[in-house]
Amino acid sequence: MVRHLWIGVGLAALAGSCATKADLPDAPAAYAAAAGATETPDAAAQAPEEAWIEHFATPELTGYVAEALKGNPGLQAAGERARASRERARASAGSWLPDLNISLGTSRTETPVAGTDDRVRFDQSTSRLSTTWEADLWGRVLDGTRASFADSRAANADYDGARLSVAGQTAGAWIDLVQARQLLALAEEDLAQRERALDITQRRYESGLLNALSLRTARSQVASARAQRAAQEDALLQASRRLQFLLGRYPDGALRTQTELPVLAPIAAAGAPADLLARRPDVAAAEARLESSGLRASQARKALLPRLTLSATASGAGDGLRDITDVDGLITQVLAGLTAPLFNGGALRAEARAAQADARASASNYVTTALTAWSEVEGALSADTAFAVRETELASAAEEAREAQLLAERQYASGTATIFELIDAYTRRIDAERGLIQARAARASNRVTYHVALGGGAETGGLAAPMTSREKDR
């Protein structure tokens, strides 16, 4: 037993030297991709704004995000988990205080009288008041309490992260809905143009100016355009249902929008990479879990040490309530005990080693989370640069394709161009227009990803904080 005791003391003494450590790479002063994505290096170094939803300058989107933050069931579940974690942390703080329990009871004994039918009854009431308290000699109870509060902070950070994620998903779903509506409008326009071309082809065929090949080709193009329109109609329904789901509405696909995709300016601010770790909710959660796992490991090591427990009882017995509550008649007992684990099949030491492994895993998870945060911001910054170039070039391509289509239509109507040249002009123009819509939507979605990656506005979901009564009076 003495040998086991000294082993426990030694493990507890090594708690500080075995503290969990997370080795992060050195963060640069600025993001590597910020040079190409922002207007000026000075602007890129500024801290990003919290109310990033307002940057899209769309009241419709702001309203949808506000609705999602109130009605999204997944976010509500995250809030309840955070609340439950806070209550468990408060409950763990009670481990420092003595337990106080009271019990009241009554019993009746009936004894038959020999030779008669009579029975002698004896009623007795009992009371017992007991209390126990563990003197936290080594800080084991304190470690458990601190770990519970660290778990609560992690759950709160998870809630902030869920709020930010819901805001980002809602913004992304709204962008998809706008894109689907614009692509459907483009498909309907394409169908109308190809039907007009078919009408011209039909008249020229009937006049003997074109052969059956041209007529069947024009009919095929109309059928393909109708199929494309049907696909875009379904895509619009799917985008509508996705947004309704995030809002907590019934997903009947009836939600529509007439808003255009936002015109985005270059990224104005990205902040410093070192500051990102203080803003990201997932990093804060990983840091809190790292602290909790280290405390759990310390608690598990200290479980090998002796425990000092104090207990006291007061009990009474009698015929009635007066007898069992009479202070002078209560039997009292006070005990103090020192217990130490002697043999448990190595369970405590195995649990201590497991807790240390969990702590090392938490350290690795923290590093992974931090690297993921930096990687997401760098990726969003570089992607914005590529999307901006793509949007500019596709806008130019779409303009040229529109002019080429008008020219092809005039030449086809006058008989100087074939149906195949007209179809080629239609196809090039539709592809360019579709590519431009998709590029604008992709850049807008990437901008949402960028803001979510920065972790700004986690407490408000990217919305402007509500004004206080004092601010309203100004």
Instruction: Read off the pLDDT of residues 375-414 as tens digits, 9 standing for 90 and up.
Output: 999 999 999 999 999 999 999 999 999 999 999 989 988 8
* pLDDT reported for residue 98: 82
Q: The domain spanning residue 212 has which CATH number?
A: 1.20.1600.10
Q: Provide the domain limits for residue 35.
A: 2-97+139-305+346-467
Does position 111 have pLDDT exceeding 80, yes or no?
no
- Is 283 within a domain? yes
Q: Across all residues in the chain, what is the average pLDDT? A: 84
Does position 273 have pLDDT exceeding 80, yes or no?
yes
Look at 234 and 26; give whichever has higher pLDDT: 234
Look at 243 and 109; give whichever has higher pLDDT: 243
Q: How many structural domains does the chain have?
A: 1
- Is 18 within a domain? yes
Look at 263 and 285; give whichever has higher pLDDT: 285
pLDDT tens, position by position, 327-384: 555 555 666 556 666 656 678 888 888 889 989 999 999 999 999 999 999 999 999 9
Does position 9 have pLDDT exceeding 50, yes or no?
no
- Is 124 within a domain? no
* pLDDT reported for residue 233: 96
pLDDT tens, position by position, 289-336: 999 999 999 989 988 888 888 777 766 666 555 555 555 555 556 665
Does position 265 have pLDDT exceeding 70, yes or no?
yes
- Is 65 within a domain? yes
- Is 104 within a domain? no
* pLDDT reported for residue 236: 96
- Is 331 within a domain? no
- Name the burial class of residue 140, with classes exposed (0-12), middle (13-18) and buried (19+) by CB atoms within 10 angstroms of its CB: buried
- Is 131 within a domain? no
% of residues, the chain, pLDDT over 70: 82
pLDDT tens, position by position, 193-208: 999 999 999 998 998 8
- Is 333 within a domain? no
* pLDDT reported for residue 158: 95
Look at 111 and 283; give whichever has higher pLDDT: 283
